[in-house]
Chains A and B, each alone.
Chain A
Amino acid sequence: MKIRVNGEDREVRPNLNLYELLIHLGLNPAHPGIAVAVDREVVPKTEWQTKGLRENSEVEIIRAVQGG
């Protein structure tokens, strides 16, 4: 299925959950300092394994960078 991650279209297998997506993207879900929103709703870390993604889900994955 097609989803959008950080503004880019990606083809992933159907019924992927958020946790699996992070692994698929090469991120370590245990790594502190990242947060995820799906369709503009923040998904708490505790719900990553149960949060299923759907066709056209919009995922934002963010972290802290240097800023003023």
Chain B
Amino acid sequence: MKQMPEFKIAEQPYQSRLLIGTAGYPNFHVMTQAIAASGAEIATVSMRRVKFTETSGENVFALLRELGIKILPNTAGCFTAKDAILTAHLAREALETTLIKLEVIGDEQTQFPDVAQLLTAAETLVKDGFTVLPYCNDDPITCKKLADIGCAAVMPLGAPIGSGMGIRNPYNIQIIRELVQVPLIVDAGVGTASDAAIAMELGCDGVLLNTAVAKAHRPVLMAEAMKKAVEAGRAAFLAGRIPRKLYATASSPQVGMIA
């Protein structure tokens, strides 16, 4: 698929349009294999307090660096702009990256974003020099505002985080595609390969997923499936699908038949 236009975030080109999370795998070994199978060049991590009782040396930062994967820290678990901003600054200092997946959660159960807090945090972090990739609702107006603020991409949810419900509102995703010029990445909700393909067929620039791979019975195989789905969906989008019609149009010639 080398002929495809490049996928860029903040001027940095990437071959892969699949971004992957690092949470919830059976173990580090499976995670490493799944990331490799996915072809992803960007992987997310969270920022958490150091535990002083910890003895294990498993260090996701060191591992991803070793694998040559670009690290995208998130602000998961933050419920206020204030906490998200501090978390972003800590992440920048700890991981030496200006990339931040900005999450400001409004509700524990749905994990839906708090839009007001998200916009406030995005504005501050853009001013502070971050490359802000906000996890947001599939709301065209919110996405437009985030793009206007200067976010490097918009990342609307397809469905609630970890729900595996797929792209619940493809029409909104389509409208968002038309409204914003920055990269559009569906983040959250993908349950299986066809969901990722649908997101790409709608014109998204990329897909960010985690649970669908990490919690699959065979994470490495699902990672490979997601890679193919994202590539297939992108190709189908570029190829241009035929319009939907209610009735048949025969594809074989209608003349020269017997009898």
Q: Which of B1-51 contact A (CB under 8 A)?
A: 21-25, 31, 44-50
13 A-B residue pairings within 8 Å (CB atoms): A6-B49, A6-B52, A25-B52, A27-B52, A33-B59, A42-B86, A42-B93, A62-B48, A64-B45, A67-B22, A68-B74, A68-B210, A68-B211
Main secondary structure of the interface of B (DSSP, over half): mixed
Chain A residues within 8 Å of chain B by Cβ, number: 24
Chain A 1-41, CB within 8 Å of chain B: the 1/0 string?
00000110000000000000000011100001111110010
B202 within 8 A of A: no
CB A30 to nearest CB in B, in angstroms, measures 13
Q: Which residue of B lies closest to A25 (CB)?
A: B52
Closest chain A CB from B133 CB (angstroms): 13
Q: In this assembly, does B71 line the interface, its C-beta being within 8 Å of a C-beta of chain A?
A: yes
| Number of residue pairs A-B, CB distance < 8 angstroms | 101
Instruction: Say if the beta carbon of B89 comes within 8 Å of chain A.
Output: yes
Is A66 part of the binding interface, using a Cβ–Cβ cutoff of 8 Å?
A: yes
- Residues of B52-71 contacting chain A, CB below 8 A: 52, 59-62, 71
For residue A65, which residues in chain B have a CB less than 8 angstroms away from its CB? 45-48, 60
Chain A, Cβ-Cβ closest to B88: A42
Q: Mark B88-99, 1 if CB is under 8 A from A, else 0.
A: 011111110000
- A61-B50, A63-B47, A68-B74 given as contacts; is B89 within 8 A of A42 (CB)? yes
* B69-122 contacts to A (CB < 8 Å): 71, 73-74, 76, 86-87, 89-95
